[in-house]
Each structure stands twice: as C-alpha cells, then as structure tokens.
Chain A
C-alpha cells in the first residue's frame, strides 16, 4: 500500500474508478444506427439518436447480452430485473436532454476483479455495479472561433459504466486494475478496450486521508483516456491534495480535467450548474427482465478468463506466476502460446514466445495477431530444436529469418545449410584437424590446463560453422584429448 510522505506525516491515497466501456455491437443501444469508429460526422445517426420529436427507444438484445457477459466475467451478481432511468441534463451533445441510464436498479450488482501485484501477490478490488447506458455525441471545440461543432455518431452507442469500490490505493494499482479490466473485456469480446478511440474512458475519484482515518473529500477527474494518463493524473491529484491539506487548506469536491501536456489536473472551467439530474424511470421503456436460465446458459458459454487461465498455465505447464501472467494478458497470446506448447516442452515454448517472439514483435511494433510467424511455424522451429536438427543458437538465426522472410523453419534450415551435424565421423575429422593445428595447446591441456577445453570446443564449432551437435562434440573431443 503506497503512502505519500508529507511534511506532517503519511497520507494514504484512496481511489475509485468509473470506467465507461463501449459495448461491441453492430447497432446502437436503442436505435438501428451503426457504431463504427471514425465515420463522417452525423452519418451514423438515426432520428432516434438525434432525439427527434416522437422518436422512441427499443433496446438491442445483444447489448444486454454483452453487459450480462461482462457482469459474469467480473464475478458479479446479475440482477434479473433492472430499470432504465432518464438522467436529465442539458448539453449540446446530449440530444434528448436526458441520457437513458440505470440508476437505482442496474443490470449488474456487486462483483470483484483480482489484481496481480508486482510482488506476486493478488488483491481483490470490489466492483460496486455495472450499468448500461447511452453514450453522448461528440463536441468539437477547436473547429471554429465562436462555435462548437456537434457530431452525434457516438450518441446512443451502448456503454457499460463499471464502478469500482474505493479500494485502490495507488496509481500503480489503478493502472493494474485498468489493465486487468481491459483484459477481461477483451477476452469476453464485450469491449475492444481501445482507449485512443475512446472505447474505454476512465473517471478517477481521488481523495487522501491519514492512514485509517475516514474518507477524505474527493475530486473527480473526468475522461482520462490512457492508462498512463490515469496514473499520472492520480499521482498529481493526490500530491495536490496533500499539499493543500498540509498548508492547512481543504479539498473542495469538484470535477477536474487532466491536462496531459502539463501532466496536471485543473478544475473544469465551465462551472456546471449544481447537478440535479432528476432521475426517473424512463416511461418509454419497461423494466428489463432476464431469464435465469438464459443467464445460466451465458455463464456456461463464457470463455476461460485470465485468472482461470493463469492458474491453469501454472498448473498444467509449470510456468512461474509471472510468466503465466504475461502470457494470459491477451487471449491471442495465450492461444498462441498454447498452440506452440501443445505436445512440446512448455517452458521452452514459453521462452520462445516471451523472449524471441515478443522481442521481434516489439521491434516491429506489431501485435500478436500481426505476427509474421504463426504459432504452427514457431512450433515447427521448436521441434527442430528439440530433435536436434538445429542448435539452440542457430535456431535464433532461423527465427530471425522466419520473421524476415515468412518462410518455414525446416525450409530455412535446409536452404541455409544450418542443419546440426550429428555425424560423428564429420565431427571427429573436424576435431582431428583442430587438434593437429593446435599442437602446443593440446600439450598444455594434457599438462593440466583443462580450461582450454572450451577453446577447443569453440574452434571445432567454428570449423563446422556452428552446426556441430554440442553434446556429441563434447563427448568426442573429451575422448580425443584423453588420447
């Protein structure tokens, strides 16, 4: 648990996150307009999204399913009856003057998310609720000197608002929480987690207190759009509050914005009118009732999620918790690893995936989906290592060539003549040639300078262009030197 050391003693940071996760669906929550990112302004807008007179909402079944799946994925209670409310406020990108959301009766209740901490331990962060609501449109303030431009393409897209308990105690934990949540959402296929495109947005509630004291006054930092920024914003905001309190001031409950350029938070300039959302049940919609059997069936159809997969990897493949954690972060990496590991030495497979493959992908700036080497291709290479066709050292060379050319491992080994020499005659003759050329060193060795063994190995390897089978080479060389 991180503390901030102030001049007057320690402070504890208390953080709760509200994440808005855009549901993956073809059409919007209450209208049949498309949800694709990056379309021309106002081309994905139905009269319902623009709140034209007389327009009515009809809910998208798939969005409900996505929310329930997500609830199940965060170990939460699914509420078989939930209610859609109107949250009333005026804003340029909120066409109806209200947002359809869920207030007193959300679709998903209490749940939890397990954090894997840096020291290898885990900690459960409470989820207060998850509710379904509509997204607003987009206001562009920088297109014109005196006008704000409004694009309603995003208006009405389904969001899941996922609210955590104030259980997080540091910027690092907040980062870990977001990474884990994103991983779960991506596993479930309910949100693509793309923060740059705004599919995952985070509001941070930050307060500080003396360790063990009651909760302090919190500030809400709105709409932070990367995990790094979330961590910076929390870091800055906590320090700001500590400084304020240590100077004898008081924290004012307010909404703040994060200025990524300066790395600071600042109060919103538009001092909003005192919030009074006048929630009430939307009379255009009826309570949402879910069938318990349907929920059960969804539960059974869930994919294996990161926590379960990690536990299985540790158990089944004898991987370290760290390695397993790295491999399960993305479903695609986990699948890739398992395809390589299937029927092979799992640790060797994990190494190849995490060291060579990840290294190469990092250099190329590619994700696992874009890997030039398929899992089957890497498996083939690992097989060649295991059966001794290619040495571990040359295999790296082969892998580099595979990345570069996209050609298969066996083909490259053949084409480039990298096959390991296991013919004892060939190795023996190479040894003989080396020993003949290094007569004095042989004498020294035999006189007791055994360190020279490595030198001879190197020479023979060089003579065979690295292709000699190391074990065989060692055995034959030892025999030869023993005379």
Chain B
C-alpha cells in the first residue's frame, strides 16, 4: 500500500506535473487498492488493463506538457454510467452482460480530461435506494465502523459503491448520480464530499435513467477543491440531452476564494425535525457558527413545503421510473427469461430481473399514473413540486445559500430499516427537496457522531451557482478540519 492512494486530486495533479510519480504508478497503486477493497463489494467490474492503458497515455501527455484537468487521476465510475464495451448493469440483474456500444457524455468528458477508469462502482439497483442493500450483486459495506461495534454498516445510497471506494482510498474520486440524495447522503455516511450540481449542469446522456426530471450526475471526492476540479471536467452543455443547460461552465476551482464575508446563509427552520439526533442538531449549529465566524450572516428562513417534498418525490420518481424501466423487456439487451408468449416472456424476465425495491417502485409508479389516479397522485405531486420550488425561490430572495444537515442520521447497520420502506425513504428528507427544485447541493464531512461515524453538512445554492456553494463548502471543510479515517482503508493508512 502506498501513500499515493492518500492523495486528493489536487495533490496528485501537483505530484504528476512535478514528476514526483507517474500516472502509471498512481494507477498501479489504485488498482492494488481496488483489489484490496473487494471485501467492501464496492466494485462490480474492475478494469485494470484499461486503467493502465489510460495512465500510459496520460504519462505521454504529461511528458509533452499537455496535461489536462484530470490527467492521470484514477476514478471509480458508478455503474449507472454507460461505458463503451465495459459491463454496465445499473446494479441490476436485468442488465446482465450488457456492454454499451457508447460512452456516456460525462465519462467521455472525464476521459477527455485525462482521467483513468479503475472500474464500475456498485450501487442500489437502478439507483433506487439509500443503503446499497438493494444491489443485485450483494450489499456494499461502509468502510467505517461504529466505535466498539464491528457490525457492517451501509454506505448510504444509491452511489454507495462510489462513496465507499473513495472513503476507503480505493479511488481518488468517483462519479455519482443523485436523484433524491444519492450522492450527498452516501457522501455523508462515508465521510467524503459529494456534490449534486444544478439539474442540467451535467449531461444525462448515457446515464441509465431512474427519474429523468431529477437525475443529475456529480463528483464524489475527498475535498471540496477536488469536487470543484472534477465538476469542471464533468459539466457542460450537451446537445444530445434536451434538458442540458446551454450555459458556460465557470472555473469552479477559482471560485474557492476562502472569502464568504457578507454572504447570507439561510437556515430553514422546518429542517429541525422532531426526533432528530441531538448531535446532528449540534453539528448543524457548529456549521452555522463557522460560517458566521468567517464573516457570513446566518438568517432564519422558512421552507414550508419541506414535509411534503418527500411524499411528492415518492410519486414523481417512481412514476418516471416505471416508464424509464419499461425498456428492460428481454428483447434487445440484458436478461431474458423465456415464456410461452411475448407477454409471458416480459413478465418472467422482469420478475426475475428486478429486485424487490425496484418492483415496489415500478408498481407504485404504474399505479399513480394509471387511469383514474393520475390527477390525485401525479398531478398533485407536480403541483406540490411547484410549491417546493417556490419555497426555495422565496428563500433565495433573502439569502445566498442554505445550510442544513445532509441526512437525519449517520450510517446504519446493514439489515436495519429493511422492513420499513418509509423509514428508509426518510433518509432523504433533507436532500430530496433540492432535487425537486433542481438546485445544486453539496455534502461536506463536518464531524463525527458520538459512535465515531461521519456526519455531513449540506450547502444548497441557487440554480447554476455551484461556485458559491463550493466556496461556502470549503469554508466549512476548513473549519471542520475533518481528518478522521474509516476503519477499513484499502489503500493503506
């Protein structure tokens, strides 16, 4: 194991350009770490040969002085991103054996920026979950453990494999996707930084769709600076995605000025949930104090629709998913379970190919869209969505960013909350409203719970104002001085 796996993107970038080590050395260290991380089940596919080939190409670039933004940086790629010729399953049996004949726009941009692919990260099946226990190929383990308790914990989800890999030092960074919190919540559970950009900032083209109006790709890193660097490489207008925003990508790293004086930081009082652990309340207050100390001004604001965001989300997301997942029918790719008729073949294939949570959501989605129920459920949820977005609009009249906890709890044990889908859904209570409103949000590790597990704080910004979000997040990161490391370190301690 090597110190090379401890580096952030920014540090590795400096080391590569300063010839302190080569991209190949960096890749080799991480390939070994990926192998060492197998007990976590964080990877569905490892691509060491590709990693080395990409690293060699990066070394040539570096030698010629033509290094790009992510030159030689080894990444884990959430299995939701289609990668040309590389197994892509969305964590589902129904995509058994699927090798896409195309590369997602976001991963293509990362490769074009010089990044190196280590493999495909495990995830909740079709990104539906907050625990990574719904993966078809086994649960992912969080590299963290509670103090004095060796029970395996969930890494959060759905980008749980990505979060676990980054936390365990098996990858410098990873891609994630966030539909209701799937980047920010696992980042919080695993003690890393996870950013969901504004809807439309990163192209959805080539990302297996869960809920199209909510899905957004983003970086999962070990520092805010890394998130800024990586987001810059992932973002940008894509004419192949009709919802991709035709707006320029600012230099996010340059936005990290360390100066937030005069900024107004909104604190939504509806986020003070009954029964939320006191240590999360306390952490939140510490965060408020940090930004205040840095010269920003906390303001109490109100998001009255908070309570309704989650149920609205659990109509909209399953509805879109029920339609998005109709293409998995055993005809053109993936699993086929034979049947006597076409319909029987469909029913057998989809019963065998989808796990329990996916089936549950597809059925809910089918129901809320069906004749006679559309207005009562789907239309109502879309109207509530409008109100949720208006809440944020009103809040941003009074402040520049919002500061909240990322999740109402730290990581829980594998097996906990399993039988109660709603208890599981509540994990996303602070993250879901951000997706409904399409806003950028980031989770920054801000401290440890009493049992030694990481907790994150969330910064939410105006649409396309990731720069301010990142700037505030870096202040929190610096103030928190989070240096704790998980119990399991694939890349050595």
Contact = CB atoms under 8 A, between A and B. Distances in A.
Contacts of B212: 283-284
Nearest to A86: B323
B366 interface: yes
A53 interface: yes
Given A90-B343, A280-B319, A280-B374, A56 B332 contact: no
B370 A54 contact: no
Given A58-B242, A280-B378, A283-B212, A53 B370 contact: no
B327 A57 contact: no
Residue of B82, B100, B242, B371 ringed by the most chain A CB atoms within 10 A: B242
A52 interface: yes
B323 A54 contact: no
Nearest to B341: A270
Given A52-B332, A90-B329, A276-B370, A57 B242 contact: yes
Contact of B370 (A58, A278, A286): A278
Contact of A51 (B327, B342, B371, B374): B327
Interface in B163-199: none
Contacts of A280: 319-320, 323, 369, 374, 378
Interface in B335-360: 342-343, 346
A58 B90 CA distance: 24
Contacts, number: 102
A150 B333 CA distance: 14
B331 A284 contact: no
Interface string B88-107: 10100001001011101000
A87 to B, nearest CB: 10
Contacts of A54: 81-82, 100, 104, 204-209
Interface in A274-296: 276, 278-280, 283-286
B326 interface: yes
Nearest to B81: A54
Contacts of B323: 86, 88, 97-98, 278, 280
B413 to A, nearest CB: 32
Given A50-B332, A97-B323, A280-B378, A286 B242 contact: yes
B209 A53 contact: yes
Q: Is the interface of B mostly helix, strand, loop or mixed?
A: loop
State the main secondary structure of chain A at its contact with B.
Answer: loop
A47 B101 contact: yes
A148 B327 contact: no
Contacts of B331: 92, 95, 150
A49 to B, nearest CB: 10
A55 B378 CA distance: 24
A148 B332 CA distance: 14
Interface of A: 47, 50-59, 86, 88, 90-92, 95-98, 148, 150, 276, 278-280, 283-286
28 contacts: A52-B332, A53-B88, A53-B333, A54-B104, A54-B204, A56-B205, A56-B240, A56-B242, A58-B239, A59-B242, A88-B369, A95-B327, A97-B329, A98-B323, A148-B342, A278-B322, A278-B323, A278-B366, A278-B370, A279-B369, A279-B374, A280-B319, A280-B320, A280-B369, A283-B211, A283-B243, A285-B242, A285-B243
